[in-house]
Structure 1
Amino acid sequence: MNKTFKLYGIIFIIVMAVLAVLELNRTEVTDWRKNFDLTKKTPFGLFVFNKEVNKLLQNEVTKTDLSPYNFYKNSQKKPHNILLIQSKIDAESWNKILRSVYSGSDALVISEDFPPSLADSLGFTPANVSLRTENTLKLTDEKLKTDSLILDKLPGGQGFYSVQKSHGILGKAVLDGGKVNFIKIKYGKGHFYLHSEPLFLTNYYLLKPGNQKYAQDVFSYLPARETVWFSGANKPTAESPSPLRFILSKPALKYAWWLFLGGLLLFAIFNAKRKQRIVPIIEPLKNKSVEFVKSIGNLYLQEGDFHDMMEKKAQFFLHRVRMDLMIDTQHLDEKFAHLLHLKTGTDLKEINDAIDLIKRGQDPYASVIKDDLVRMNTLLDKILK
């Protein structure tokens, strides 16, 4: 195991230890988003209300995920109650609700926002948002005035103004100068009940002692009959089909997953930098000179032309004497033999024997045999060793 790998291992262990300590000391962060989700136990979810709604409405609640348009398209229901909580529905669905209320149904709409088309149809104008950090909700009925609810966390601050005389004012926000936030509007044979502060139905406020009474008072305006709650907008979106949905839904597993992917990426980067691309093995060119010489030699031996071989050997020897020893080879006389003896240190007798063999190789009419070629080759190699 090399030092670099040990270093990476130590760094990885340290990072894992730090993350483990941070995870153990991590405090749970409260989600204060206004999600109005039926399954969420966060402060502004509707989990508690979803469990208690049947008690509030005498066990006559029908919850549906269908939009009002699809719900009323295939069925003609007798007059009933309609419940909408912070719902975003389309214009055609609102038209279906208006027709149902006109025929004798009652609709309780609890939302911070109302569509302009509904405001035009019912003749009310939403008020501007208040910037107060807390408020108190009270009902105007003399019998219900004592059942108030204090909003101390993120009140919406919505309401109504320019309320027509024919509209009934059912509730107000006290600290906003009595801003109207709960009204009753007659529409055909039925009524619309509009409440602009849905927070009073969330987990945070329903679990506070005494606040349940305010919620009961609001729902008491609905007659005792079947209530259709269009709860599709308050349900979570469809579960992700991803096989990682369980891992990503748990904070600890999610952090471990991203850490694993990050570590894998770093390993790939560093590993790629350390490894060199494979260099192909290129065989060096073979020296064919020796093989060529052997081939030529074998050719001459097969032909048996010893005279020609002695001539070429003599030419090669004299060429080297001229180039390496700087001796003139034009005349192979005693002076040449003496200079060759001085520069090579070879015995003078052997030099004279070699000169005699060279002359015989240069004479085209001289008779030579194989032993002459061997003797000549031995002497010349000895002189230039």
Structure 2
Amino acid sequence: GNHVLMAAADFDPVLMDLFEIEVDYQSLEDSLPYRLYGAGWDDRIYLLPPTAGGAYFSTWDSRYVEARGRYGQRSTNVLEAFEGDGSIIFCTTPLLFSNYYLLQENTPEYLAGILALLPASGGPVYWDEYYKKENLARQRRRSRDRDESPGLLAYFMQQPALRWGLLLGAVSLLLYTLFEAKRRQRVIPVIEPLPNTTLEFTRTVGRLYFQRSDHHNLGSKRIKALLEHIRARYFLRTEVLDDAFIRALAGKSGLPEADIRLLCRHIDRFRQQDQVSENQLIELNQYIESFYRQAAR
């Protein structure tokens, strides 16, 4: 014979199945009109914030349950279920009972209409909240138990067979990575660089000319190589070995002008002769070698 008012967005499944009640949810963006069904409340409309709603009753057993309020067009938010001489009032907008919404303009009168559904029996009224200390402590214990429960890896390490299997697999993977997954390629043969035989060839040709006593030809080639060296290194024209050439070569090579003049004189004298002796060839070669040595300092 008692009467209960329950305000929540979700209810106990056993209680819901008893009265075949189902709850759905929707997203609200604008304020909606709220209405109550009962003596003296049918014609009143309360415009409340959209955040107050969202949950609504979609179905119920009409043999034992009656709709007592709705918001919007067809979103029923208040039901009254009858059981024996008592009743249970379900409300899906619990936020309306909070301090914030009680400060809104229409909320107090709307809540007064919901509370008016309870009969004025004059007996004691019991107020109960879900978020009591006992429930909060129970939730903390459940959360702590979930956090302390071993994970998958911890469970593997606790079981000897699984632990050894996991370690063996890790070691096998490491060995495979070290020995099998490295890059493979065929051995590249070492190719020895070709020897520089230019100097040996030059010496051989020089000995050949010298043995044949072709001193003039050998000296001409020495002069040609010297002039090519001067053109490549000092960027001088070597067609005419005159005073201008001697001064320019002395300035760029850093050698005394007298030594350059003596070298050019021997070159001109060598060119004018058709036949030269071995001593003349040796003397010319000494002047040329002396120029190379002094210019390289």
Do both share a fold (TM > 0.5)?
no
Task: Calculate the TM-score normalised by the size of structure 1.
Answer: 0.32
Task: Calculate the TM-score normalised by the size of structure 2.
Answer: 0.40
Structure of higher RCO (CA pairs closer than 8 Å, 6+ residues apart): 1
